Chains A and B, each alone.
Chain A
């Protein structure tokens, strides 16, 4: 058995075709020879599942300034976000929304015909006075509209897509100071052939890794392939311990119900019918940031005030909203509730629980999307990342709702632009014939293995332990248990074998390779969480329940060596005009 290997040469290769990848592709196409590789079809990307909106201080419906947006984002990040990056994002947000409108995005409109805006968690007027209408939206399918619109613009520009090509390795050339990114190795799902893409620039935009958790809003395909591949090549991951749990996932399934439901007036109630967020966040109530709401739900359940036979969920109550408002503003999510729970949300409250949702951490980059490889911000020439797979860091310890759609368009555009500039100044890299050997050997090893360990069983065990021990609330004890399970799984991973030995659409093989990314990133997440003995944003330690700004105002950098051991280093947060203070809402 020998795999066919094909060679391609490009100026720019973009890996992933969700919002960030497509936005970067729009910048690069026509300016340099560009290829976009995606393991799906572009329109299948999980950007399409985003619902609520994209914040920008357009002030279309009430007074608002980008500085207020920046303040909310800094505070929401629990002061772990880098303020210069946050200022750039909130300033460019306005431009980014207008850009999308010019691209044809079908925003919901105000009576005067302007882009309509609605309330969202953690977004406030004048530094926390009251909720502000800042989120630009298209019903409750804003992400779908963004993904479709960006793909349409790529069709208009004749962007060169390689659909169902999955990247399993990244190439470098040179040593020391001259080391630079030289391309990627991709596996063509339809044929099983390998493709070496030699390229001056590579931009990763592969999305998140929420499939390491059992209760998750993430697609089956969100397995952290970009971060995983770089991590396995010795590059660091930033702030892995910060993982967001969205408060309102459909009970038992984790399917997302947008925060926009609360922006439209929806209320959270415990099993006794109490509006418990009044106690936790007296000013903004149900529109507090996600980390606080998820923790509040966890606390209600722990105190025995949950609903249902096992008292293990709470309710999202929309029953008091006018039915026509639900139909106009929240049609999709109410459809999900009818489909999966058989409940009519206009009449009955919806059982919900926190669901694994978004990785604040990921591939460290600067504000131009350039990947940095150490705590001194040294850039790896030619290597870029944007979107959820990247960590700029604009979300810090807790992302505000809508800021992910904003992140992908702002930093997708910035990353694409800086990659174009770079590739016009350098020569083509030299890639050897043996560039694909590592991936080929790995594929052949997995196919020929007779170890007997099952990929699905290992993955389920990982997901169970991560949801139980490393989610909304963590302790030394729970993290130690998660770490022990992951260590065991990583050993057992060497003994996996698969049923499908074929070449054509071998998803059995692909799932096996993806699992290694999830295992490695979960290991980094748990070790980062064990080391961080404080509570900040989405990282809550019951045994260290306060934020420690003296010791922990810093980003973690996790490095994995060839044996799979992890080393943690730290980098100071970049401050700015907003000084850390206690987070009250």
Chain B
């Protein structure tokens, strides 16, 4: 009975479909443990999963809680597990994910309510890698120059929106929350490979610790999960190599 709609199949984007949602609910004010709740709504094939969640919240059950803002994949608020995979609800259409949806909060961070998790540990890990430009030169009243090649070197990791899809898809992170996780490493990579930055030693020291890059077991879940298409595992490997081979 599950309808999986594929891009190849000609589905009228405006056609109304019956969408079945099975959502993991938890409200600490009333529930002692999480439970599943099912909803049935009408949605267009071209609607996003976020549209479907809004339809539930706005017409069936106002208590359903989730984060969202931009609704087109640039703010990173609405990471969740959709049919077993970490995704942003606003960039996945019903025509991509099908009409039978199982939706859970992302894993590895404490659930506060419904699909909302505590993001503080994630941001603390981000902050721990000194994610800002460290430069002790004085460029004066002009821009620093950077060649197009040098700029390209770290382009991929500037795309990160800190949605946590990668970190919370990592089996190592599920087992050990001390691991800084893929997102923090991506944001360290962004500066380690920026020709203007002078903080590489400091960051490599941080990532060479027990909680750093060596926890990575190259499962590639992070790369698959990234909604921005960042080659996350490759970035982690590049940092590992920088620690092993590029240090004096």
Q: Which residues of A contact B (CB under 8 A)?
A: 40-41, 43-46, 48-49, 58, 97-98, 101-104, 106-115, 138-139, 141, 144-145, 148, 152-153, 155-156, 190, 219-221, 255, 332, 336, 339-340, 342, 454-456, 498-500, 502-508
Contact = CB atoms under 8 A, between A and B. Distances in A.
A97 B144 CA distance: 11
Given A44-B69, A104-B191, A153-B132, A145 B158 contact: yes
B59 interface: yes
A115 B139 CA distance: 14
A48 B70 contact: yes
A342 B13 contact: yes
B125 to A, nearest CB: 12
B62 A44 contact: no
B73 A339 contact: yes
A505 B113 contact: yes
Contact of B70 (A102, A104, A219, A342): A219
B62 A148 contact: no
Contacts of B30: 502
Nearest to A508: B62
A182 B197 CA distance: 41
B77 A109 contact: no
B147 A43 contact: no
14 contacts: A43-B161, A44-B76, A98-B141, A101-B144, A102-B144, A109-B145, A144-B161, A148-B160, A190-B112, A220-B70, A339-B73, A456-B58, A505-B114, A507-B57
A152 B65 contact: no
Given A145-B158, A219-B70, A152 B131 contact: yes
Contacts of B196: 104
Contact of B65 (A103, A104, A139, A507): A507
B197 A104 contact: yes
Q: Give the residue among A336, A455, A508 with the most B Cβ atoms within 10 A.
A: A508
Contact of B74 (A49, A221, A502, A507): A49
A111 B148 contact: yes
Q: Give the residue among B66, B112, B133 with the most A Cβ atoms within 10 A.
A: B133
Nearest to B29: A502
A342 B150 CA distance: 34
A141 B133 contact: no
Contacts of A41: 77, 119, 123, 162
B143 A115 contact: yes
Contacts of A103: 133
B75 interface: yes
Interface in B196-243: 196-197
A219 B71 contact: yes
B62 A500 contact: yes
A138 B70 CA distance: 20
Contacts of A148: 158, 160
A504 B65 CA distance: 9
A44 B75 contact: yes
B179 to A, nearest CB: 20
B116 interface: yes
B159 interface: yes
A148 B154 CA distance: 14
B35 interface: no
B155 A255 contact: no
Contacts, number: 150
A6 B76 CA distance: 30
Q: Is the interface of B mostly helix, strand, loop or mixed?
A: loop
A503 B69 contact: no
A48 B159 contact: no
Contacts of A107: 143, 151
Interface in B111-158: 112-114, 116, 119, 123, 127, 130-133, 135, 139, 141-148, 150-151, 154-155, 158
Contacts of B85: none
Contacts of B147: 109, 113
Contact of B71 (A101, A115, A220): A220
B148 A48 contact: no
Interface residues of B, number: 63
Contacts of A109: 145-148, 151
Interface string B149-180: 01100110011111000000000000000000
Given A112-B145, A155-B132, A507-B65, A340 B46 contact: yes
A148 B28 CA distance: 33
Nearest to B28: A504
B194 interface: yes
A145 B151 CA distance: 13
A101 B160 CA distance: 19
Given A104-B133, A454-B58, 13 more contacts: A41-B123, A44-B75, A44-B77, A46-B75, A48-B75, A106-B194, A108-B151, A141-B74, A144-B159, A456-B58, A498-B62, A505-B112, A507-B65
Interface string B79-117: 000000000000101010000000000000000111010
Nearest to A454: B58
B20 interface: no
A503 B71 contact: no
B68 interface: yes
Given A102-B144, A340-B46, A43 B76 contact: yes
B61 A499 contact: yes
A504 B62 contact: no
Contacts of B142: 98
A94 B115 CA distance: 44
A552 B151 CA distance: 49
B75 A456 contact: no
Given A40-B69, A456-B58, A102 B139 contact: yes
Contact of A155 (B116, B131, B158): B131
A40 B116 CA distance: 13
Interface string B174-195: 0000000000000000010010
Contacts of A503: 29
A394 to B, nearest CB: 24
Contacts of B71: 219-220, 255
Interface in B16-59: 27-30, 46, 57-59
A325 to B, nearest CB: 14
Given A49-B74, A219-B69, A507-B65, A502 B159 contact: no
A114 B75 CA distance: 29
Contact of A40 (B63, B77, B155): B77
Query: Which 8 A-B pairs rank lowest in CB-CB distance, beginning with the nearest?
Result: A104-B133, A499-B62, A456-B58, A113-B145, A152-B132, A508-B62, A156-B132, A500-B63
A285 B57 CA distance: 44
Nearest to B120: A163
Contacts of A144: 74, 159, 161
Contacts of B119: 41
Nearest to A221: B69
Contacts of B247: none
A506 B135 CA distance: 43
